[in-house]
Structure 1
Amino acid sequence: MAADDGEGNHVVHEHSSGLHFLVVSYGLQSHVNPGRVLAQRLARLGGGVTNNGGSILATLSVPVATHRRMFPSLAGAADETTTTDGVISYVPYSNGFDDGSTPKSPKEWDRSCRATSRSLSALLARFAAGGRPVTCVVCTLVVPGVLDVVREHGRHGVPLAVYWIQPATVLATYYHYFHGYGELIADAAHAMDPTYEVSLPELGRHCRLRVRDLPSFLVDSHTDNAETTNKFPQELYEYMDQWRPRVLVNTSYELEADALMEMERHLDIFPIRPVVRTSSAVEDPPAQIHLFKHDNVDKKRYMDWLGAHRDKTVVYVSFGSVTKCTKLQMEEVVRGLRQCGRPHLLVVRKDGLEEEDDDGLQLQEVSTQDDEMGMVVDWCDQLEVLSHPAVGCFVTHCGWNSTLEAVVSGVPIVGVPKTFDQPTNMYLMEVEWTTGVRGECDSEGVLTGTELARCIKMVMGEGTQAMAMRERAGAMKEMARERADAGGLAERKLRDFVKTFQAHERDGT
């Protein structure tokens, strides 16, 4: 049974049989949204909670601080109980930093691991006692503490599945880093030549990556938390070597065939296609969750503004939900947009400037607002913007979610990668798919306005390279939409993943 809590949220009290997938997400928006979409897809395979539980129940678990931002009406309640959107359930876990702060020291990370482990263990026990035992814990990348939980509960039939929300090329690069190529990559990084190529023979052409194309934490050993950040994937790969869990990958064979086929030799891989909605998809995911503070910008205003421009003439600029820009960098972005002379939609989050610049740059200072040439907003529905025919170029930080949204929308990019998997994503766009160009930063790490204007011209101009790039982006868009149809290979892979658990349930194992 489900009842309303008086604030518009539904509290779940029902018991259900069948499979129950607990999707555990890290608290970043780039983890929460893919985790939510996966949970939705799993639930819909069995009817979801709206159909009396169906044969599949899916629950998304996020840190307490994230849950409170998603469901503010429940914040501070004595029991921030399970809620549902009618398809999946949501439940918080405590990572030891319920105020929303982030662990910084190794000691704090250890404390967070212990708190996460305790909280998730209690959650598994609670589900079991309530008649909804968890069939499988699905973890987005690496959530510290989860491995301890599945090691304990795995002995009682609760296995782990990994949801790899970065490209398969990064999955493969990390795999080889932890399996004999760590010193090779470290030596290449120490050469201080970003164009130096790292050859990983087993991966074929995908291993001809330059140092600048590798995930940042593998080459930037001086970066804060780099050692701690690499500790968790190392533990994950050690776990995968021993237990060979199922690995769901947010990609497709059409995008990364070589990397996927290579990793199939080492891991139990299920490529489940890009988890972004497309107009041809039978099961569109819900609207994205936005965890940062923003005004309720009138979507009609910026969509009408886009509608007033010709097809493929607008430059859309957004650097994601994590990246923060200095005042100097944002001033250079504005200078480049003005220099290129094209209409632009620029997203500047209120929390998107580095702390020392928070009071130094206001939206109205960034660009002329609401005129023919430029509009500045602190938030927009990115996929709807990218899908608008007026948008001809996307200036992006190259997060994997944004990269995939550009692909399914057929929009070529100017990439400004900084950290995490962003350099590798840029490599895929620029070298493998030829649907983008990389903006080169200066010695201070700043993308100058002149360089930005040059790159936009390369993408939106009338030269042979620009036209070929736009044609390729359009072809990839059609491919992505065709592969999103129900019954395709990716959908069959997800069903195959579920069937492995259904077989165990039938056998009573």
Structure 2
Amino acid sequence: MAEKRILLVTFPGQGHINPSLQFAKCLAKHGLKVTVLTHTSATARMSHTLPPSFLSLIDIISFSTGPDSSSQNPSKFNQAITDCGTKAVEDAVASNLAAGRPYARIVFSLLVPWAGLAARRLGVPATLLCIQPAILFDIYFHYYNNNFNPLDEVIELPGLPRLCRSDLPSFFLDTNPIVKDFGDKLLSDIFEIDLDKYKLVGIGPLIPSAFLDGSDSSDVAFGGDLIQKSDNYLQFLDSSERESVIYVAFGSNSELTWRQTEAIAEALVRIGRPFLWVMRGSEEREKVSCKEELVERGRVVNWCNQVEVLSHPSVGCFVSHCGWNSTLESVAAGVPVVAMAQAMDQVTNAKLVEDLWRCGVRAAKGEIVESDEIVRCLKMVMDGGDESREMRENAKKWRDLAREAVDVGGSSQVNLKMFIDQIIGDVQSTVCLLSIR
């Protein structure tokens, strides 16, 4: 049987790179030949963190949008990445076909639906790797089909819990026409590919094995960090008591206002517990008004291996923006969350954490989340009372379920095998793989 080849196309953001690389590892370990395609802005930084063992399994190729396209101008960058990325997909497919090594399938992550549209034009089966929860894909579907008004205070949709307007992805209600148009165009492209043929299949969590099922102790990182991690934070965690450390991190893209940064700093000083805070940019640390008090109590670092930190026994709470990767990583580690959602899908993920899984608390937000509210949430999670114990018990329950899913015979393994069997058997069905469970 000829070797089956997969082209996996992903957006050059950390939240897209991580699950895409982990999924590529899963496919490669099952005997498929995987090529990952993304923008040069990611591959240039990934080259410093990808281990040789990864490169022996998976090929990495890239495309450029040229010197005139800057990610600082989102609208211009999106158009450039669409045009240049589409051509890169077409070139990769043509090149492999000419060499007698055709791609059996193109897998594409969210924000790059142009790869799926290109696959359809080229006659190559396509699969969406949905790096957000199933509830969001369902909401997107109903929104695209005008099945509800996002301005309504209460929204009831079949098969979903009752939603409030504040639970919806933020771009539904954004007053900025650029943001609104981008979101609407994204969903239009996704559902244009094959609206009636999507079959949702749950896989994952797509997290390094060493921190999940333990089947591969060498799989300790995603391998594609776009930011250089700091040193010495593990020594701090090792010296701290069990479940005593508050871990604070807001992902690679969320930018906090200065007022929000000050509110977090004040809350951490007031709560009086050890903490590890990922704060990108050393200049921001120097501006914090209570810098001396922070240094006495905890550590502020530029970047870290988040799954490694969350899996450390000293970590007792995760203050998070609730991006889906961070949310899944907290679930897989069994760590309760203080959800400080910023925008986009994060508000819906925060609802899952507080209302459905009951493994955390969502901070109330006005213009910012004030320090009093942050302290309230931290005390609720960390004080050891009834609510705290319930959150921890639920967090560990979901951790155990996540491990069961990826274990032999678990739902993720069964679904992954079914997907690979489809590829080997040249089945043409359109699948949406959801990084969930």
TM-score in terms of structure 1 length: 0.77
Aligned equivalents of 1:364, 1:180: Cα separation in 2? 46
Match of 1:4 in 2: none
Cα separation, 2, equivalents of 1:175 and 1:493: 22
Q: How many residues are matched?
A: 422
8 A contact 1:396–1:416 mirrored in 2? yes
Letter in 1 for 2:235: D
1:160 to 115, 126, 141: 126
User: Does residue 272 of the first structure (1) align with residue 207 of the second (2)?
Assistant: no
Match of 1:94 among 64, 68, 72: 64
Distance in structure 2 (CA, Å) of the matches to 1:427 and 1:17: 46
Q: Does 1:197 align with 2:154?
A: yes
2:262 to 331, 335, 341: 331
> 163, 167, 172: which one pairs with 1:213?
167
| CA displacement at 1:403 relative to structure 2 | 0.4
> Which residue matches 2:357?
433
Q: What RMSD in Å do the two structures reach over aligned CA positions? A: 2.6
The alpha-carbon deviation at position 290 of structure 1 amounts to 5.4
Q: Structure 1 residues 423, 117: CA separation in 2 closer, same or farther (over 3 Å shift)?
A: same
Partner of residue 407 from structure 1, selected from 287, 310, 331 = 331
Deviation for aligned residue 1:487: 2.9
Matching residue of 1:389: 313
Structure 2 residue 21 is matched with structure 1 residue 36: yes
Give the letter aligned to residue 303 of structure 2.
W
* Within-5 A mapping of 1:12-31: 17-31=2-16
Q: Do the aligned partners of 2:279 and 2:285 also contact (CA within 8 Å) in 1?
A: no
Describe the SS at the equivalent of 2:74. Answer: coil
Go from structure 1 to structure 2 and tell me whether the alpha carbon gap of 1:363 and 1:89 turns closer, same or farther (over 3 Å shift): farther
Encode CA deviations 1:165-218: one digit per residue, 9 max, x unaligned: 10000000001111231xx32332xxxxxxx22111x22xx2411111111112
**Could you tell me whether the CA contact under 8 Å between 1:96 and 1:112 is conserved in 2?**
no
Q: Secondary structure at the match of 1:145?
A: helix
1:137 to 73, 86, 106: 106
Amino acid at match of 1:39: A
Partners of 2:203 and 2:212 in 1: CA distance: 18
Identical pairs, percent:
32
Which residue of structure 2 aligns with residue 78 of structure 1? Answer: none
Deviations 1:114-137 (A, max 9, x none): 222112101111122233211100
Distance 2:73 2:183 in 1: 11
2-structure distance, mates of 1:36, 1:363:
36
Instruction: Kindly report which structure 2 residues correspond to 1:406-485, keeping only aligned pairs within 5 A, or say none.
Output: 406-442=330-366, 445-485=367-407
User: C-alpha separation between the residues in 1 aligned to 2:90 and 2:57?
Assistant: 24
Structure 2 letter corresponding to 1:62: T
What is the alpha-carbon distance in structure 2 between the residues aligned to residue 318 and residue 60 of structure 1?
27
The CA distance in 1 between the partners of 2:274 and 2:241, in whole Å, is: 10
Choose the corresponding residue for 1:63, options 9, 27, 39: 39
Q: Tell me which residue corresponds to 2:247.
A: 316
Kindly provide the amino acid, as one letter, of the partner of residue 325 in structure 1. L
Q: Which amino acid aligns with 2:351?
A: Y
SS at 1:101's partner residue? coil
Partner of 2:422: 500
In the TM superposition, what whole-angstrom CA distance separates every residue of 1:384-423 from its partner, at most 9, and x where no partner exists?
1111111111000000000011011111010010112101
Any conservation in 2 of the 1:399–1:421 contact (CA below 8 Å)?
A: yes
Q: What amino acid sits opposite 1:150 in the alignment? A: A
Paired AA for residue 39 in structure 2: P
Matches of 1:228 and 1:61, distance apart in 2: 22
Aligned to 1:176: 142
1:342 paired to 2:269: no
Which whole-Å CA distance do the structure 1 matches of 2:237 and 2:177 have between them?
Answer: 39
Structure 2 unpaired stretches of 5+: 428-437
Displacement of 1:449? 1.3
Question: CA, structure 1 residues 386+142, in 2 after alignment: closer, same or farther (shift >3 Å)?
Answer: same
CA distance change for structure 1 residues 290 and 20 in 2, over 3 Å: closer, same or farther? Answer: closer
Could you tell me how far 1:365 is from its partner in structure 2?
A: 6.0
Change (3 A) 1:380 1:72: closer
Partner of 2:118: 149
In the alignment, does 2:251 pair up with 1:282?
Answer: no
Higher RCO by CA contacts (8 Å cutoff, separation 6 or greater) = 2
CA distance in 1 between counterparts of 2:177 and 2:336 reads: 30
The answer (yes or no) to whether the contact 2:117–2:189 under 8 Å persists in 1 is: no
Q: Is the 8 A contact 2:144 2:187 kept in 1?
A: no
1:312 and 1:187 map into 2 onto residues whose CA distance is 41
The alpha-carbon distance between structure 1 residues 387 and 84, as it changes in their structure 2 partners (threshold 3 A), is closer
Q: Helix, strand or coil for the counterpart of 2:150?
A: helix
Structure 1 CA distance, aligned partners of 2:33 and 2:137? Answer: 28
Q: Is the 8 A contact 2:322 2:347 kept in 1?
A: yes
Kept in 2: contact 1:316–1:394 (CA 8 A): yes
Amino acid at match of 2:387: Q
Q: Distance in 2 between matches of 1:123 and 1:103?
A: 27
Q: In 2 relative to 1, CA 376–73 (structure 1 residues): closer, same or farther, beyond 3 Å?
A: closer
Instruction: Answer whether contact 1:63 1:98 (CA < 8 A) is retained.
Output: no
Q: Distance in 2 between matches of 1:109 and 1:376?
A: 33
Query: What per-residue deviation string (whole Å, max 9, x for no partner) do you get for residues 442-473 of structure 1?
Result: 3xx21111111110001111321111111111
How far is the alpha carbon of 1:364 from its aligned partner? 7.6
